[in-house]
Amino acid sequence: MTSENKMLKQLILLLIITIFLVVLFVMNLFFGSVTLHLGDVWEVLTKQASASDPVKWSIIMQFRMPQALTAMLAGSGLAVAGLLLQTLFRNPLADPSILGISSGASLGVALLVLGFGAASGYAADFSGWLGHIGIVMASFSGAMLILLLITFLGRHLSNTVSLLIAGIMIAYMAGALVGIAKYFSQKEDLQAFVLWGMGSFSNVGPNQLIFLSGGTLAGLMYSFFLIKPLNMLLLGERYAANLGLNVRRTKVIILFLSGFLTAVITAYTGPIAFLGLAVPHLARNIFRNSNHIVLVPASVLLGAALALFCNLVARLPGFDTSLPINAVTSLIGAPIVVWIIMKRQHLYTTSN
Amino acid sequence: MTPILELQSLEIGYPASKDSQHALVPAVSLEVHQGDFIALSGANGTGKSTLLKTIAGIIPSLDGKILLHSKPLQSYSAAEKALLVSIVLTEYPEDQFLHAEDVVAMGRYPHIGFWGIMSASDRHIVAQSMESCGISHLKGRRLVSLSDGERQKTMIAKALAQDSPLIILDEPSAFLDYPGKIELMQLLKQLVKTSNKAIIFSSHDLDLVLRSVDQLWLMAKGQPLVTGKPEELVLSGQINRYFDRDGLSFDPLLGHFIPERKKGWMVYVNGHHLHAKWLNNSLLRHGFLLSANPDEELHVACETETFTIKYKGKAYICSTIDSVTDKLMQLCANEISSS
């Protein structure tokens, strides 16, 4: 197989996934507690707001469209964050939640939402513009705190497995602190936090979508600038340094970027498990390639598609309410990871 | 000709604590020129790897200077250094879908732009590097599916594609079988010859380096690094001193290490070249000592098919090396019991 042939094949695969993505997106607009017809969706999308049925317009433009876009952004962002961390640690189990970064975000949000109530004595309203900024900041600070701790430990633990174990322990500690914060919190705050913790793509209205998409798209775009360094890191840090890479700076950039993506997304959607872990594996196994020039766009597309798929499953037609998205992504993501690990065993022995 | 690499009073090692530093060996001063093929040898734990990693800029030096093309190593940026020194380490990338060709192509990264897109000439260099290492047929194979030797060659092809005047290899023969080691040495020698690069590699495999390289650097704990042609270092007895280990010594006649034995029966062997060599081997293995004295009491004459043992005026004819050894051991046993 010549490399031109291979490139063409991979481009075709990317195209197929893009088509899938579009189909899933449209399906997300159709299905829900109210199933719409093709004509309805078409009408709303093509006509002026005033000219179409206000109920249908509202369902699509104010609920389903933002929800689908949120799912796509979250899926892409978490998938790329997972890819970055897996490459950095050269460990297939690295992902934002396992390293404790998501737990850090939770801790930040818990301290803000629960702490505010405990300190002021009444339940806080975080639905406003300022409240959202507050949650984003809290989530981001919490994630960054854990990131800094992990980076600090990373300097002293040369072994990546040790670092991973340390990350898991940090996640436990953050979880324990969240538990303490819960214990001392107001009932209303607690409910708000628990709901946030179940994850949801539907909490982002059209107005807040700007912040989520701004942050996520900026992070995704930056990840495209890291393609060459990421490839070099596949060889190991020493080889990468010998090829002219400033390893220390790159490490910090990768940790920061993956932390940033996780923090922004987690702030708006709550913790979403397994997308960051499963999607990069899916991308590698579909494309059978390690080159990040393929893996980064593939993770973006597959992450968006898988998140849309999970969102569909969460709102299976016939149900009045939707399932918590965090549970759905776990139910779908975990088997994918197991399947890949089982497949991996044969990879060492078979040649292609 | 200016040297590619110059070490001036270089001290290597790891800082023992914040205030005190502990150099592994006395300061090293050396020059490496284009076309040099150098082996760095010494027992395990003497600092071979540390020296190579210091030269490659992976770990900092304690003191002294490393000059690359007459400029201090530290004055180069990481990107500039990548064009001057390439390395081959004992570690391998373990990524599942990393293909041999991708790895070699990464050798071109210091030469190409931000996005890592290769031009036709870059692709040509990659193909040529793989060709030189004899791994063109492994192009589309995943690195994890290759044998140790094939993987080693892939990493060497990567270093070749990097196209630096100096290539440093850390224990490249460590995981190879013996024919693989010989093949590796031949490949490296060929590269030095055809591309006029300088190659430095470390190996504790003295047998191998003695027969392969033009220049040998010897290291031992706390002793100054000595350099020279392999033959000079053997004849001057340096090898023995630098590989000092109780109960072992380097036999300059045989070209390898043998257990030191102060007592044993002296045997004089003469005759057909190949059979004599392997009879010696068997005798040493069974605890005899080889004598250079033709008047020795125990004497074995080798011909192609027969061995004649002469002892105390009697002659015994044997047909195999095994039976010679047995007979000699029997003679010695008789001697001991009668005395």
CB contacts, 8 Å: B94 with chain A: 90
Contact assignment for A3 to B162 by CB distance below 8 Å: no
| A55 belongs to a structural domain | no
Terminal Cα-to-Cα distance of chain B (whole angstroms): 69
Contact (CB<8Å) B116/A227: yes
Top CATH class of B266-338 equals alpha beta
pLDDT band at A39 (very low <50, low <70, confident <90, very high): confident
List chain A residues with CB under 8 Å of B80. Answer: 244
Q: Where are the domains of chain B?
A: 5-247, 266-338
Amino acid code (one letter) for A259: G
Q: Are B315 and B321 in contact (CB under 8 A)?
A: no
pLDDT tens track for B266-294: 888 888 778 888 888 888 888 888 888 88
Higher-confidence residue of B225 and B339: namely B225
Ranges A99-113, A210-224, B60-74: which has the least confidence:
A99-113
Gap between the Cα atoms of A56 and A52, Å rounded: 8
d(CA B60, CA B15): 10
CA A352 to chain CA centroid, nearest Å: 32
Q: How confident is the model at residue A199 (pLDDT cuts 50, 70, 90)?
A: confident
Give the model's confidence band at A348: pLDDT under 50 very low, under 70 low, under 90 confident, else very high.
Answer: very low
Residue with token string 């001036």: B8
> What are the beta bridge partners of residue B302?
B271, B307
Which two structure tokens, joined as six digits, stand for A164?
């991973």
For domain B5-247, give the fold: Rossmann fold (3.40.50)
- Provide the number of structural domains found in chain A: 1
| A232, A246, A289 ranked by CB distance to B97: nearest | A289
The radius of gyration computed from the CA coordinates of chain B, to the nearest angstrom, equals: 25
A327-332: average pLDDT: 91
pLDDT at B19 over 60: no
> Edge-to-edge strand order for the sheet containing B5-11?
B28-32, B5-11, B63-68, B71-72
Residue A246: list chain B partners with CB under 8 A: 78
Residues A56-99: tens digit of each pLDDT: 777 888 888 999 999 999 999 999 999 999 998 887 777 877 77
On the question of a common fold for B5-247 and B266-338, the answer reads: yes
> Average pLDDT, stretch A293-315?
95
Q: Do the chains contact at B99 and A290, CB–CB below 8 Å?
A: yes
Distance (Å, whole) CA B238 – CA B215: 14
pLDDT tens column, B191-200:
898 888 999 9
Looking at the complex, report in whole angstroms how far the Cα of residue A289 sits from the nearest Cα belonging to chain B. 5
* pLDDT tens digits along A222-271: 999 999 999 999 998 899 999 999 888 888 888 889 888 988 898 888 88
How far apart, in whole angstroms, are the C-alpha atoms of residue B289 and residue A59?
A: 97
| Residue whose pair of structure tokens reads 């975080």 in the numeric block | A126
> Rounded distance, CA B241 to CA A138, Å?
66
Q: Is the pLDDT of residue A299 over 60?
A: yes
Label the pairing between strands B298-302 and B266-271. Answer: parallel
Please give the structure tokens belonging to residue A233: 């890191």
Question: Higher confidence at residue B199 or residue A39?
Answer: B199
pLDDT bracket for residue A146 (50, 70, 90) = confident
Percentage of chain B modeled with pLDDT above 70: 96
Tokens in use for A346? 């044969």
Higher confidence at residue B223 or residue A230?
A230
The pair of structure tokens assigned to B240 is 């023995």
Give the best-scoring range by mean pLDDT among A107-116, A225-234, B5-14, B305-314. A225-234
Interface contact B96-A344, CB threshold 8 A: yes
Q: How far apart are CA A160 and CA B31, in angstroms?
A: 38
> A146 lies in which domain range?
3-26+74-347
CB contact under 8 A, A231 and B93: no
Find out whether A270 and A103 touch, Cβ atoms under 8 Å. no
Q: B140 vs A344: CB contact, 8 Å cut-off?
A: no
Q: Which residue of B has its CA nearest to A340?
A: B96
Phi, psi torsion values for B28, nearest 5 degrees: -105, 130
In whole angstroms, what is the distance from residue B52 CA to residue B38 CA?
12
Residue A182 lies in a domain: yes
Local confidence band at A350 (pLDDT 50, 70, 90 cut-offs): very low
CATH number for position A310: 1.10.3470.10
Closest chain A residue by Cα to residue B79:
A244
- Which pair of structure tokens corresponds to residue A89? 């640690």
> Measured between CB atoms, which of A246, A288, A289 is closest to B78?
A246
Please check whether residue A338 lies inside any domain of the structure.
Answer: yes
Residue A193 lies in a domain: yes
